[in-house]
Chains A and B, each alone.
Chain A
Amino acid sequence: MKKVALNGAGVLVALFAAFPVYWMISTSLKPSNEIFSATPQPVPTHPTLAHYREILTGNLIPGVSFLDFFLNSALVAVSTVVLSGLVALLAATAVARFRFRLRTSFLIMLLVVQMIPLEALVIPLFLMIQRLGLYNTLPSLILTYLGFSLPFAVWMLRGFVAAVPKELEEAAAIDGASRAQTFRRVLFPLVAPGLVATSIFSFITAWNELIFALTFINDQGSYTLPVAMTFFFGRDDTNWGPVMAASTLFTLPVIIFFLLVQRRMVSGLVAGAVKG
């Protein structure tokens, strides 16, 4: 009896959590008459890829297609990932491998800057981007997201670097490897999985971001996907089929990446409070 109640509660929770995602995908596969019918169909009775075809082949504005926005977003996100991964690896090595005077201060600063409300930085960063002449360019976003993703990336990578046994590096050093060689040949391959996990978080940060992309980019051809979606689909009388197809294409990479690394998210965010 108790078991039934528990399982029933479990099903309810699962339904509440997963339903919107299911409804997004399901709507994207329905023909328009099914989407706008008086009685909603729980499953598409005549599944179709028409909405996907429509967004992928048509132009949202003259000369600019969904794929162009997708590529803008991908370019920004991948650049952010590469830069932030590189810088974070150096900093994480410093923090995990050396004892130096400012180490603790740096770690505290990492924690504190992660708490800066990024929403409060739109105005001053807008000023900086204007001054640098980067307004309306994708590098303005790469730069911004680099700053946003770096503290968490360092914080997370620190654990991965610390987990590599120091003896391996010492052995390499005894064998005559230089510091750079040890770093490249010993530490780097062993930290690589951690670097991948960290990169995914930076990617998601950059891929999902809306406010700054909305503010720094004015030229429609340079819109990132989130901006394009709020701009073209946020109007009244929305045609939900293509909107849900676009949302699905936007969401799927994130979900896949996210499921690969979600464990680390918890330990990274609660930073030592949770063991296990």
Chain B
Amino acid sequence: MTTLTEVPETSAARETPARRRRRVDRLPYLLLLPALAIIGVLLLWPLGQVVVMSFYRLNSVRQLRGDREWPWVGLGNYADILSDPFFLTVLRNTVLFAAANVLLTMVLGTLVGLLLNRLGRKMATFVASCVMLAWATPALTGTIVWKWIFDDTSGLVTWLFNALPDGLSNSLFGRSDWTGYGWFNSPLLFFAILTLVVVWHSFPFIAVSVLAGLKSVPSELHEAARVDGASPWRVFWKITFPLLRPVFGILIVLSTIWDFKVFTQQFVLAGGTQDRPTFMLAIYSYAEAFSPPPKYGLGAAIAVILTLILLVVTGFYVRMVLKQEDES
């Protein structure tokens, strides 16, 4: 036995360390090759290409197919966008929407996470299952259902407002008949409903992540603080929050990234790309590029601006994850 195992070892060590290492080294690269190729061609190359496209005036599909030349305009597209006062509206919409949604999602998600941690087992399972349903529902159908709930004739919300006593409804809103009321017509109401839809979709992830974090914290700490008479508010900020700080950091960054590029919900709720006053960066870029007349170069420039904003946020995210991996 001993001789058998010793022989290959010594011979390998003496004669062929270089050859062996080379042979072993090549395999992982071979295994990685397909994944690298796909990520390179389908994610990284387009990312570079969108920057390239933003420097050209591209107004027809024939240019994309290569049948017509691409006129270089340098930073012309960016100049057009940044000098257009409409861009400020879009940017304001995007930033305010993202800020409001991140805040609401985080607050609601955290509260639900804390609640799930305190509930009895049966109740917690029940509530968690319901919360999962909201998370699992595709953005598309979730939004369609909310649209139905806000339908202007038979929608539940319209019925609810109609059911208010006429006097109360009149003094509060100046109308008592809500049938035919366009819930999506004013930008502010549209954004309120969009916020409702997006928060409904995204709070479950926060709740479940916070719950998972809470489970990893020894409960003695909380009990001790409570025995000492600390209020729940103080317990949260003095114990829970500092312990879960890395989790909160990552959740805030992820939420920010997601809420900056909301598209499907807005597209479905607005019924397409016609509702310009409610445009945010993602849908603005899409509408400029694909609504006739197409302006691919201009759309690409807007996409680059969106990407740059998110790049900064992503920088924070990667730093946080790497820090976590180091510590664990």
Chain A interface (Cβ within 8 Å of chain B)?
3, 6-7, 9-11, 13-18, 20-21, 23-24, 27, 35-40, 87-88, 90-91, 93-95, 97-98, 100, 102-103, 106, 108-109, 111-113, 115-117, 119-128, 130-131, 143-144, 146-148, 150-151, 154, 179, 204, 207-208, 210-211, 215, 226, 229-230, 233-235, 238, 240, 243-244, 247, 250-251, 254-255, 258-259, 262, 265-267, 269-276
Asked if A251 and B148 make an inter-chain contact with CB atoms under 8 angstroms apart, the answer reads no
Contacting pair B44 A113 (CB below 8 A):
yes
Interface centre among B32, B34, B132, B135 (most CB of A within 10 A): B32
Known contacts A10-B127, A35-B154, A215 near B133 by CB under 8 Å: no
A-B contact pairs, 30 of them (CB 8 A): A10-B119, A14-B130, A24-B145, A38-B159, A91-B31, A100-B25, A111-B321, A112-B318, A115-B310, A115-B314, A117-B261, A122-B289, A124-B49, A126-B289, A126-B296, A128-B46, A150-B38, A208-B139, A229-B144, A243-B144, A244-B145, A247-B141, A251-B138, A270-B209, A272-B328, A273-B250, A274-B216, A275-B212, A276-B215, A276-B216
A-B contact count (CB 8 A): 303
**Stretch with Cβ within 8 A of A (4 or more), from B85-93, B169-177, B299-307:** B299-307
Q: Indicate whether B112 reaches chain A with its CB closer than 8 angstroms.
A: yes
**Interface residue ranges of B191-206 to A (CB < 8 Å):** 200, 204-205
CB pair B130–A18 under 8 Å, yes or no, is yes
Q: Apart from A117-B257, A119-B261, A244-B145, list 20 A-B contacts with CB within 8 A.
A: A18-B130, A18-B133, A20-B142, A23-B145, A24-B141, A94-B28, A108-B318, A115-B314, A116-B307, A120-B47, A120-B50, A120-B282, A123-B289, A123-B300, A124-B49, A131-B65, A211-B263, A271-B321, A273-B213, A273-B320
Is B126 on the interface with A (CB-CB < 8 A)? Answer: yes
Q: Which segment of B11-19, B98-106, B233-241, B266-274 sits at the interface?
A: B266-274
Question: Do A7 and B318 touch (CB < 8 A)?
Answer: no
Bound Cα distance A73, B52 (Å): 32
Nearest residue in A to B207 (C-beta to C-beta)? Answer: A13
CB-based contact B138/A254 at 8 Å = yes
C-alpha gap A233/B271 in the complex (Å): 10
CB of B325 closer than 8 Å to a CB of A: yes
Given A123-B300, A150-B39, A90 contacting B212 (CB threshold 8 A): no
- B:254-269 near A, CB below 8 Å: 254, 257, 260-261, 263-264, 267-268
Q: Which 8 A-B pairs have the closest CB atoms?
A: A147-B42, A258-B136, A91-B35, A94-B31, A124-B46, A14-B130, A124-B49, A120-B303
A13 CA / B206 CA spacing, docked (Å): 14
Q: Is B156 an interface residue (CB 8 A)?
A: yes
The listed residue (A113, A247, A272, A274) touching B325 by CB distance below 8 A is A272
Tell whether B140 is near chain A: CB-to-CB under 8 Å: yes
Nearest chain B CB to A128's CB is how many angstroms away?
Answer: 7
Q: Are B31 and A272 in contact (CB under 8 A)?
A: no
- In the complex the two chains form, is B50's CB within 8 Å of A121's CB? yes
From A23, A109, A122, A238, contact of B149 by CB (8 A): A23
Supposing A93-B31, A131-B64 touch, asked if A13 and B131 sit within 8 A by C-beta, the answer is: yes
Interface of A is mostly: helix
Q: State the CA gap A6–B114 with chains docked (Å).
A: 11
A11 to B151, CA, bound (A): 26
Whether A266 and B133, one on each chain, are in contact in the complex, defined by CB atoms closer than 8 angstroms, is no
Tell me whether A230 and B140 are in contact (CB under 8 A): yes
Q: Across the interface, name the chain A residue whose C-beta is closest to B254.
A: A269
| Residues of chain A lying within 8 A (CB to CB) of residue B72 | none
Q: Is the CB of B263 within 8 A of A208?
A: no
Q: Is the CB of B42 within 8 A of A21?
A: no
B247 interfacial contact with A, CB 8 Å: yes
A119–B303 contact, CB under 8 A? yes
Taking CB atoms, residues of chain A closer than 8 Å to B27 are 94, 98, 179
Given contacts A131-B66, A208-B140, contact A274 B212 (CB under 8 A): yes
In the bound complex, how far is the Cα of B85 from the Cα of A197, in angstroms? 47
B307 in contact with A274 (CB, 8 Å): no
Cross-interface CB contact of A108 among B134, B264, B304, B322, cutoff 8 Å: B322
Given A23-B148, A240-B154, A274-B213, residue A120 in contact with residue B49 (CB < 8 A): no
Contact, CB under 8 Å: A119 / B140: no
Asked if residues A150 and B35 are in contact (CB atoms below 8 Å), the reply is yes
Q: Which residues of B contact A106 (CB under 8 A)?
A: 32, 36
Among A112, A120, A244, which residue has the most Cβ atoms of chain B within 10 A? A120
**A100-B25, A100-B29, A117-B261 are contacts. A127–B53 as well, Cβ < 8 Å?**
yes
B321 and A143 within 8 A (CB): no
Give the shortest distance, in Å, between A166 (CB) and chain B (any CB): 14
Nearest residue, chain B, Cβ from A119:
B282
Contact A115 B317, beta carbon cutoff 8 Å? yes
